[in-house]
Amino acid sequence: MAASKQIQVERQSALHGHYEAGLFGLQADREQSAAIVLQEVLNLSLWQVAAWPDTYKSVATKISKAYGSKKPLGPNKSASNAGGSVLRVEPLKFWVIGDTPANKGKDAIAVDEAVWVDQSHSRTQLRITGEHAVTLLNQFLPLDLRESQFAVGDVASSALHHVGVTLWRSQEGYELFIPRGFALALWEVLIEGAAQYGYEVI
């Protein structure tokens, strides 16, 4: 089996070499804050936890508690604390973000209650904020993202330019998880779509 050794190279994201920070688009030459701010969240840690029909209630309770929610999370809801976040992306499946399975999420759940699989490299995480963040997202996503309908903590699966994506509204903004192979193509259409409002890449 694998010898444990410190990784000596940095992770290289799907946008590597194509990601340029700065102000672009309509407002780039104006002294205004950008209407849309885009940020790639690097070094994503994403573990999928899949429970069984006879254990999902217990798993939901335990994993929700581990990440700060007193109540078990319902579908398409999330909870966060300093240790990380958990998103309930399917009735039986959860995503633990920003934490490793060795930490409290996995500690809380018995081996026979769920299976864990590392998906940290499978998605590119984009954070979208700014006045026109929702407008940009709705150029592609048919979701109802009005404040009253998609609050902080909500999660949705949808399709962006024909590609299945997951959208999570965190405290920091709208977090878009894009399958890695499509990330650059979707990044390109996103920044092209954002240019009409002006955008900043940070």
Partner 1 sequence: MSSKRIADYGMIDRSVPLEFSWDGQGQSGYQGDTLASALLANGHSIIGRSFKYHRPRGVMSAGTEESGAMVTVGKDEGSKTRRDPNVKATTQELFAGLTATGQNAWPNVRMDFGAVSGLFGRFFAAGFYYKTFMGVPPFESFSKGTGIWMQYEKIIRRAAGLGESSRLPDADHYEHGHLHCDVLVVGAGPAGMHAALSAAQAGLEVILTEQDFELGGDWLNQGDTAQHKKRVDLIKELEKVGVRIMTRTTTFGLYDYGVAGLLERVTDHLSKPSEHLPRQRFWTLRAQHTILATGAMERQFAFGNNDRPGVMNAHAARTYLNRYGVLCGQNAVVATTNDGAYTVASDLAQAGAQVKVLDTRSDVDGAVLDRARKNNIDVLLSSTAMQTLGRNNVMGVEIANRAVGGGDWRAAGREQCDLLLVSAGWSPVVNLASHRGERPVWDAVEGCFVLPENLNDPITVAGSAAGVWSDTACVSSGRAAGKAAAKAIELALAGKKPRKKTAKKVDAKAAAKAEHLYEVKVAGRKLKGFVDPQHDVTCEDVRLAHREGFVSVEHLKRYTTLGMATDQGKMGNIIGLALMAEALGREIPEVGTTTFRPPYTPISVGALAGRSFGAHFRPLRRTAMHDWNLEHGAKMMEVGLWQRPWYFPQGGEGISEAYVRETIVVRESVGLCDVTSLGKIAVQGPDSAKFLNRVYTNAFAKLAPGKARYGIMLRDDGMVMDDGTTWCLGEGEYFMTTTTAHAAKVMVWLEELLQTRWPELKVHVSSVSEQWAGCAIAGPKSRAVLEKVLANSDEISNDHCPFMGVIESTLENGVPCRIARISFSGEMAYEMYVPSDYAASMMDSLWVAAQSFDGCLYGLETLGALRIEKGHVTGAELDGRVTIEDAGLGGMASTKKSYIGNVLRKRPAMQAEGRPQLVGIFPKNKDNKFKAGALLHAVDANVGDPNCMGDGWVTGVTHSPTIGHWIGVGFLAGGYKAWEGKTLICADPVRQGDVEVEVVSPHMVDPSGNRMKG
Choose, by CB under 8 A, the member of 3, 20, 31, 70 that binds partner 1: 3
Residue 100 sits in the site that holds partner 1 (CB under 8 A): no
Residue 57 sits in the site that holds partner 1 (CB under 8 A): no
Residue 30 sits in the site that holds partner 1 (CB under 8 A): no
Residue 107 sits in the site that holds partner 1 (CB under 8 A): no
- What are the backbone angles phi and psi of residue 139, rounded to the nearest 5°? -70, -20
Residue 197: CB minimum distance to partner 1, A: 8
- Among the listed ranges 30-38, 64-72, 80-88, 190-198, the one in contact with partner 1 (CB under 8 A) is 190-198
Residue 23 sits in the site that holds partner 1 (CB under 8 A): no
Choose, by CB under 8 A, the member of 120, 129, 154, 156 that binds partner 1: 120
Q: Minimal CA–CA distance to 15: which of 198, 176, 195?
A: 176
Residue 25 sits in the site that holds partner 1 (CB under 8 A): yes
Choose, by CB under 8 A, the member of 76, 186, 200, 201 that binds partner 1: 186
DSSP, residue by residue, 25-69: STTTTSSS--SEEEEEE-S--EEEEEE-TTTHHHHHHHHHHHTT-
What's the rounded Cα separation, in Å, for the pair 53 and 134? 35
> 171: which 2 tokens?
């405290």
Q: Among positive and negative, which fits the CA dihedral 15, 18, 20, 26?
A: negative
What's the rounded Cα separation, in Å, for the pair 112 and 59? 11
Segment 163-182, which members bind partner 1 (CB under 8 A)? Answer: 163, 179-182
Residue 8 sits in the site that holds partner 1 (CB under 8 A): yes
The answer to whether the beta carbons of residues 22 and 199 sit under 8 Å apart is: no
The amino acid at 88: R
The contact set with partner 1 (CB under 8 A) reads 1-9, 11-14, 16-17, 25-26, 48, 50, 52-53, 92-93, 112, 115, 117-123, 135, 138-146, 148-149, 161-163, 179-182, 184-186, 188-189, 192-193, 195-196, 198
